[in-house]
Structure 1
Amino acid sequence: MRIPQETVQQIQQAADIVDVINDYVTLKKRGANLIACCPFHNEKTPSFNVNPARGIFKCFGCGKAGDAVKFVMEIEGIGYPEALRHLAKKYAIEIRETELTPEEIQHQNERESLYIALDYARKFYQEQLLETDEGQSIGLSYFRERGFNNPTIAKFELGYSPDSWDAFTKKALQQQFRLDVLEKAGLSIRRDLDDRPDGRVFDRFRARVIFPIHNLSGKVIAFGARTLKTDKNQPKYLNSPETEVYHKSNSLYGLYQAKNAIRGEEVAYLVEGYTDVISLHQAGIANVVASSGTSLTVEQIRLIGRFTQNITVLYDGDAAGIKASLRGLDLILEEGLNVKLCTFPEGEDPDSYVRKIGGEAFKAYVRQHAVDFIRFKAEVLLQDAGNDPFRRAGVIREMVDSISRIPDAITRQVFFQQTARLMDLPEETLIYEANKKLRDRAKAGSKPRDNREVPLPPGVVPPAEEGPFSEPPFGGAPFEETATETVTTPKRPPLSYQEEEFCRLLVLYGSLVIEKEVREQGEHEITLMEYMVGQTYDLEFQTPVYRRFMEIFRAASQQELYPETQFFLGHEEEEILQTSIHFVTEKHPLSENWAKMHEIYIPHERERLGKDGYACILRLKKAFNNLRMAEVKQRLGLSAESAEQEELLMQFMKMKKIDQAISKELGIIVTGY
């Protein structure tokens, strides 16, 4: 189906880019814009910039940029039509689509087909739970036993898959879903076996209660399913396999429902199971997510880090399970997040304990018993080591290893002090041991898990060629030093910078009037574009993208139509659009309070467009003149005929005078050639 153009425009106008992006990452105010750590690549210092006035975003780290529709396309990995449908649903805009041609249907995005199939499965399982005798007597009874009420069941879209080999698959095929799509979505399984009723196809989830797993925008991307039978040959929980839209390591159960509460509470509670999440939500504790029984991954930690820098891990009373998972929590420290741990009385887990004492008492308990990870780990391991000196030494090394992974030097220093007191050791001893570990990692050439070339971990002290690795003076924190890979960046020709500045001024201010003149027809307003294009009619831009901009400027000037910035920000050519976003996005905007705080007035370039435009034209002509001078010099070196050399020399001297004249006008001191 095709979305009519008027509906597309309605969606684009309704989509508030701040509102859209806030669904995926927490934005913070900086001047007139908002910033965040980029959701498209890993970074610790925010370089992701959102301009609400222009309705655009740009990351100065990875270069991604665009409007609200483009953001949804990038973050969801979907096509343009599906991104429009997503925003239409968000803003309650009705879409009356027109029929697609057979060719357009054939080229529909496969990811969109998976989303549609998964959403159909969600509705099927919900109907089975609420509208069939089997679903109500088995699935709904189980949820009632867990204490889940109707609003909670609806909020998490819980369901039930009937005890049948192919009930779902048969119904989906009747609704014209392709079997290969159902397989790719992880809903159906096809095997060449003769002991099945149809011989080939059966449902993945059979006779199980269903827990849909959502992405950050609320789309169902996978399912978790729990059997209610006591068959030891069947796993208790069964999850969707990895698909094009679902990667277990990148997903957290309940994050869609929890993200706003996490942002508001400034902490995320991390639990292990689906029912823990649901019970806490029903008790009024919405800032909770689960790793769905898998080991915590770097990607999941970064996902939480989009919304808060604070994680509190809620464990049950299983001491063996706690010890087994402690090492994995070093990943949270390594990503620079603050982590605390809270355990519950023996035999209790978050689900059972919140139902026992209620939401408010549960929150009070967590506040009272949550301990920072380093202290918690030290106490657990020291208790296990007892008085055995060798085991205590191992505990100390393990603690030092955890602390050395913290990126922030001040935080490391605080934990070194705390651990030294706890273990009754000199702080310098811990720091010395940490520096040895950091040196070993540097020697091993360890790199971050995403294999991107970035500076070595903070705290690394490069070892000398010979001699012992010295501890820091005065017992301070390990020295901060970074080593970076040498990257060869293609050198831009000087002319391209002047072409870029010329285009930037016209994209931002080309439609603005800089002066007025009296003509026979009356008073005429001269725009910046008319002035600058008229002064450069004989120049042929060398950089392809800026040459394309120049074609647009000249065509507009001939018709005396001077497009405003928004024309370029909505341009159909991707390169024009991306370059225009680069022009309008300031990497380091001046604070709104600058003049008030420092009593220093900085004039905006809008106030000096005439002068800036004139200077830009001169610099551009100077750059073109320099390019020609270089070409003439090269020809002089290659020419053997005296007459040709004399002609070339005269050309060079003429160009040199032009350069001197422009330099003088610009106030540039020319030292020679």
Structure 2
Amino acid sequence: MDIYEVISEFVDLKKSGSSYKALSPFTDEKTPSFMVSPSKNIFKCFSTGKGGDPITFLMELDGLSYMEALKFLAQKYGIELEEEVQTEEQVNAQNERESLFITLNYAKDHFVSNLWESEEGRNIGLTYFKERSFSEETIKTFELGYALDQWQGLMDASAKKGYNETYLARAGLKIVKEDKAYDRFRGRVTFPIHNVSGKVIAFGARTLKSNEKGPKYLNSPETELYTKSKILYGIFQAKNEIRNQANCYLVEGYTDVISLYQGGIKNVVASSGTSLTEDQIKLIKRYTENVTVLFDGDKAGIKASMRGIDMMLSGGLNVKAVRFPEGEDPDSYSKQLGGTAFKAYLDENSLDFISFKTELYITGTNDPIKRAEAIREIVHSISLIPDPIKRTVYVQQCSNKLGIEEGTLISELNKLLIKESQKNSYSSNSGRSQGSNPAPSGGFFPPDFQGGMPPFGMEPPPDLFADPQDLLEEKVSPNEVIRNQERESIRMLINYGEEMIDGFEGTETHLANYILTECEDIEFTTSIYERILNLFKEKLVDGQVLNLKDLLNHDDDEIKREAVNLSTERYELSHNWSDKFQISVAHERDSLRTSAMGNILRLKFRIIQKMIAENMEKMKTATDDNEIDGFLSIQKDLKEMEMAIAKELGNVTVK
């Protein structure tokens, strides 16, 4: 299956040379570090270290097991699966997750059955939904149901069907207190919560009793399958329409989603009444960068929700907002206007965040202090936008709309950007050295402002700016240097092992054969590289060359991860260098034999240097003359080998 086709459904990929790049779907970042290579059928996220094939991507993205991801792709592409042998541990883990999914799906079916087939369900649950003007088709689309007003209704029904009570508790459907156990949801209409693949992972439930002492809405607790902050209600039903419409409507509650969906607005999701989270923003961003937030008419409630808009701006989303008349919400107003008129209302009243905040904070007030505070609040929101061009446009708009000099706004914006940059630079949680975090790129900083950013905002290679004297003095440990050289040998094997080169005595041979022959007397010290090297050796015995696909299909997850790491380039030169500007740039592919030989010589050179150092240490503690003479003889031989390799490498001096 084509990795581009799979990933492009979840991530907005942009062409970059022969590969594609995008903002990472796994973390919050301002510049792209996520790369997809169609030719190798792999992805690599440099900001998190995740990488692999299409199956791995789905596993990492949605927390699916291997078999779940495989079945999802097989169903999508109409492929018949041949079950492969799994380890006992994999089988047990898969069975546990499948049991939870099966239990939750049974509970959903049970609640649906109650709604349509039981007298209590029809009289209370179905009547409520129809009073909300939900059609039967809509009720079935969202798989709405009803939990009977019984302490153990679901428990008893599931026991008769042979379901394990343990999974009822683990799925959040059963509450156990000391010697008592009872259903979590009783006498409530139920709203199944689906993951992006359409599987039920949790429930929301609403009481219909006016004298209920507990909360009106009750939600499943967080479980192995359900993390509330990472899911949006309605995302399964809405994801395709969000992508098609290039916009996502964001509301608060379950019934808001259902009413809008029924009215023809299907690109709508809800944060389920909780504050918006970074994970939910990333989930939206998989499908679109455009969000329209629908607020209830309550002005105080809207102001309390402003943090969500700022989070979305910071997350790189383009934010608009719609406010309804006092006392109305998306659910009530959509029913009042009807589908077509409601859609027209959204289009006509959708405001960008500056216009929205201006209307909310400034319109109707002549207090200069409040006005200044409101303007500062708007500038703060602009400062959160990662795209410098968008910031520029919004500053101009803010200036025109509020009648404030653009220079004044820029000055205030610079203060905020510099302050944020300094905070990041000295953050102990950044994981970088002091002062290494650049300021937001492309801001309004003066020319002498000390900022900067490597290409695509990524970290430079670790030794790129190293002090040469540090390298000469070997401040990096010999073992680490050797490990790096072993890594280079394996990298060349994975990327170019099948390439033909001029080999021994003028005959053509695979690069893999050449490298393995030259490394015959070298014992690799890094376990993962030794294992990969041995796989190449085993394959070569049969006259074949191991390739990337073989490694990606290997049972060992560590081998698969390392294969992805070593086969993915973080940077790629544009074809324009040669095609458009006729600038010739050398590539190691053009001189594979020389590159491979140089790397093997450097590896041998480092190994010998380590042996020299170890031999010297032994000589220092030797007391017997014969033993000392033996060490001196070894030292002489090692130094001669060191000098010979140094000469081949072109080194002027050696230590």
**Which TM-score tier does this pair reach, normalised by the shorter chain?**
0.7 to 0.9
Task: Tell me the residue number matched to 2:381.
Answer: 402
Q: Alignment partner for residue 138 of structure 2, among 152, 177, 199?
A: 152
| Cα distance change, pair 485–613 in 1 and its aligned pair in 2 (3 A) | closer
Aligned residues between the structures: 632
Is this contact kept in 1: 2:67–2:94, CA < 8 A? Answer: no
1:458-507 CA-to-partner distances (Å, cap 9, x unmatched) read 469xxxxxxxxxx977xx99986799999999767333333222222222
Task: Tell me the residue number matched to 1:366.
Answer: 346
Task: Tell me the residue number matched to 1:528.
Answer: 511
Task: Tell me the residue number matched to 2:652.
Answer: 670
Task: Tell me the residue number matched to 2:555.
Answer: 572
Is this contact kept in 2: 1:210–1:225, CA < 8 A? Answer: yes
Distance (Å, rounded) in 2 between the aligned partners of 1:99 and 1:169: 35
Q: Does 1:272 pair with 2:252?
A: yes
1:214-273 CA-to-partner distances (Å, cap 9, x unmatched) read 122222111112233333534332222222322222221112222222223222111122
Q: Does 1:54 pair with 2:33?
A: no
Is this contact kept in 1: 2:535–2:546, CA < 8 A? Answer: no
Task: Tell me the residue number matched to 1:301.
Answer: 281
Distance (Å, rounded) in 2 between the aligned partners of 1:374 and 1:90: 42
Task: Tell me the residue number matched to 2:103.
Answer: 117
Paired letter, 2:534: E
Distance (Å, rounded) in 1 between the aligned partners of 2:25 and 2:600: 39
Q: Alignment partner for residue 35 of structure 1, among 16, 21, 40?
A: 21
Task: Tell me the residue number matched to 1:168.
Answer: 154
Matches within 5 A, 1:552-631: 552-591=535-574, 595-600=578-583, 608-628=591-611, 631=614
Measured after TM superposition, the shift of residue 59 of structure 1 is: 1.4
Measured after TM superposition, the shift of residue 656 of structure 1 is: 4.5
Matches within 5 A, 1:613-652: 613-628=596-611, 631=614, 647=633, 650-651=636-637
Is this contact kept in 2: 1:58–1:581, CA < 8 A? Answer: yes
Task: Tell me the residue number matched to 2:53.
Answer: 67
Task: Tell me the residue number matched to 1:287.
Answer: 267
1:623-648 CA-to-partner distances (Å, cap 9, x unmatched) read 44444455566678888979668646
Paired letter, 1:157: E
Matches within 5 A, 1:122-133: 122-133=108-119
Distance (Å, rounded) in 1 between the aligned partners of 2:10 and 2:202: 19
Paired letter, 2:111: Y
Q: Does 1:184 pair with 2:170?
A: yes
| Cα distance change, pair 404–190 in 1 and its aligned pair in 2 (3 A) | same
Deviates more, 1:283-292 or 1:71-80: 71-80
> What secondary structure does 1:221 align onto?
strand
> What secondary structure does 2:292 align onto?
strand
| Cα distance change, pair 298–564 in 1 and its aligned pair in 2 (3 A) | closer
Matches within 5 A, 1:61-460: 61-91=47-77, 110-191=96-177, 200-383=180-363, 386-434=365-413, 453=431, 458=439
| Cα distance change, pair 102–162 in 1 and its aligned pair in 2 (3 A) | farther
- The normalised TM-score by structure 2 is 0.82
Is this contact kept in 2: 1:407–1:458, CA < 8 A? Answer: no
Distance (Å, rounded) in 2 between the aligned partners of 1:265 and 1:277: 16
> What secondary structure does 1:598 align onto?
coil
Q: What is the root-mean-square deviation of aligned Cα atoms in Å?
A: 4.2
Is this contact kept in 2: 1:254–1:277, CA < 8 A? Answer: yes
Paired letter, 2:559: I
> What secondary structure does 1:50 align onto?
strand
Distance (Å, rounded) in 1 between the aligned partners of 2:307 and 2:89: 53
Distance (Å, rounded) in 2 between the aligned partners of 1:425 and 1:513: 67
- The normalised TM-score by structure 1 is 0.80
Task: Tell me the residue number matched to 1:465.
Answer: none
Distance (Å, rounded) in 1 between the aligned partners of 2:85 and 2:440: 60
Task: Tell me the residue number matched to 1:466.
Answer: none
Q: Alignment partner for residue 524 of structure 2, among 528, 541, 546?
A: 541
Distance (Å, rounded) in 2 between the aligned partners of 1:128 and 1:307: 35
Task: Tell me the residue number matched to 2:533.
Answer: 550
> What secondary structure does 2:580 align onto?
helix
> What secondary structure does 2:493 align onto?
helix
Matches within 5 A, 1:456-471: 458=439
Report percent identity of matched pairs.
Answer: 45
Is this contact kept in 2: 1:431–1:478, CA < 8 A? Answer: no
Distance (Å, rounded) in 1 between the aligned partners of 2:462 and 2:502: 45
Measured after TM superposition, the shift of residue 292 of structure 1 is: 1.3
Is this contact kept in 2: 1:24–1:217, CA < 8 A? Answer: no
Is this contact kept in 1: 2:254–2:270, CA < 8 A? Answer: yes
| Cα distance change, pair 431–638 in 1 and its aligned pair in 2 (3 A) | farther
Structure with greater contact order relative to length (CA < 8 Å, sep ≥ 6): 2
Structure 2 unmatched ranges of 5 or more? 464-475
| Cα distance change, pair 626–98 in 1 and its aligned pair in 2 (3 A) | closer
| Cα distance change, pair 83–504 in 1 and its aligned pair in 2 (3 A) | same
Paired letter, 1:124: H
Q: Alignment partner for residue 644 of structure 2, among 658, 665, 673?
A: 658
Is this contact kept in 2: 1:622–1:662, CA < 8 A? Answer: no
Is this contact kept in 1: 2:615–2:631, CA < 8 A? Answer: no
Task: Tell me the residue number matched to 1:3.
Answer: none
Task: Tell me the residue number matched to 2:468.
Answer: none
Deviates more, 1:510-519 or 1:44-53: 510-519
Task: Tell me the residue number matched to 2:467.
Answer: none
Distance (Å, rounded) in 2 between the aligned partners of 1:388 and 1:584: 62
| Cα distance change, pair 444–212 in 1 and its aligned pair in 2 (3 A) | same
Is this contact kept in 1: 2:229–2:280, CA < 8 A? Answer: yes
> What secondary structure does 1:210 align onto?
strand
Measured after TM superposition, the shift of residue 313 of structure 1 is: 0.8
> What secondary structure does 1:542 align onto?
coil
1:580-634 CA-to-partner distances (Å, cap 9, x unmatched) read 1122222223446664333456677556544444444444444444444555666
Distance (Å, rounded) in 1 between the aligned partners of 2:286 and 2:485: 38
Task: Tell me the residue number matched to 2:483.
Answer: 496
1:352-389 CA-to-partner distances (Å, cap 9, x unmatched) read 444454545444433332111123112211236x2233
> What secondary structure does 1:541 align onto?
coil
Is this contact kept in 1: 2:14–2:22, CA < 8 A? Answer: yes
Task: Tell me the residue number matched to 1:509.
Answer: 496
| Cα distance change, pair 159–371 in 1 and its aligned pair in 2 (3 A) | same
> What secondary structure does 1:553 align onto?
helix
Is this contact kept in 1: 2:322–2:346, CA < 8 A? Answer: yes
Is this contact kept in 1: 2:643–2:654, CA < 8 A? Answer: no
Paired letter, 1:270: L
Measured after TM superposition, the shift of residue 300 of structure 1 is: 1.8
> What secondary structure does 1:578 align onto?
helix
Distance (Å, rounded) in 1 between the aligned partners of 2:419 and 2:88: 61
Distance (Å, rounded) in 1 between the aligned partners of 2:384 and 2:349: 25
Task: Tell me the residue number matched to 2:472.
Answer: none
Measured after TM superposition, the shift of residue 78 of structure 1 is: 4.5
